[in-house]
Amino acid sequence: MHIEPGVVDGAKMALSYATGAASLAIAAKLAYDTIREDGGVPGLVLRSVAATLAVFIFFELLPHFAVGISDVHFILGTTLLLILGAGPAAIGLIAGRAIQGILFAPSDLPMYAVNVTTLIMPLWAIHELSRRMIPDGTAYVDLKYLDVLKLSLVYQGGIIAWVAFWALYGQGFGAENLTAVLSFGAAYLLVVVLEPLADLAVLWVAKHLPRSSWTPHRLHGAA
């Protein structure tokens, strides 16, 4: 997912700066929670580096294709959240997207606040959902397809909603723009189906690896 330059421009960019700043504040809060509750500074740094590398790979190396108003990527936001935790996942999305833009798509940098908002707000949503939906005693490695499907639906649904919002906010409700929005949303439904399978595959691998001091405590549950 990335929204092309020009979709939102001019005075309308002011809103993206506000939502981008809010997204950075959310990421900072999630990072602080990680330091305080789940691994301290070393855990946050190690997992954030891993998340940044993963996000760069997701955006630059995994298959992606342009549909309608944006590109369809396998972002694997729920995978990052479940394996690395919300704070590192947020930092990884922010830093990985910046590195990808600087090195390979500098023309996209004016849209950085738009794209960061679109990535971080849904991540925050599934973080809050996971805290309410998954019982405290349940390790993430024991989650079922339906569990991760719910998280994926919320995350990818959030991506679709934000992309649609930016497109309609920036370009209006003309027939051509609406068609582009709908075609993007339809294509992204494939990601909603496939991402939980990737989540479960990664969680299965994690389940059979030794518990590590730098992984989130919820990954394997209580010792």
Q: What is the mean pLDDT of the chain?
A: 88
- Name the token pair of 134: 């998954």
Q: What are 28-41's pLDDT values in tens digits?
A: 999 999 999 887 99
Report the 10 Å Cβ neighbour count for 183.
13
Report the 10 Å Cβ neighbour count for 216.
23
The pLDDT score that the predictor gives to residue 2 is 67
The pLDDT score that the predictor gives to residue 24 is 97
Confidence of residue 15 (pLDDT cuts 50, 70, 90): very high
The pLDDT score that the predictor gives to residue 150 is 87
Yes or no: say if 45 and 176 are a contact pair by the CB < 8 Å rule: no
Cα 118 to Cα 113: distance, rounded to the nearest angstrom: 9
Q: What is the pTM of this model?
A: 0.91
Cα 136 to Cα 127: distance, rounded to the nearest angstrom: 14
Yes or no: say if 16 and 167 are a contact pair by the CB < 8 Å rule: no
- Name the token pair of 197: 């399978």
Cα 202 to Cα 197: distance, rounded to the nearest angstrom: 9
- Name the token pair of 136: 């405290």
Q: What are 120-172's pLDDT values in tens digits?
A: 999 999 999 999 999 888 899 998 888 888 898 899 889 889 999 999 999 99
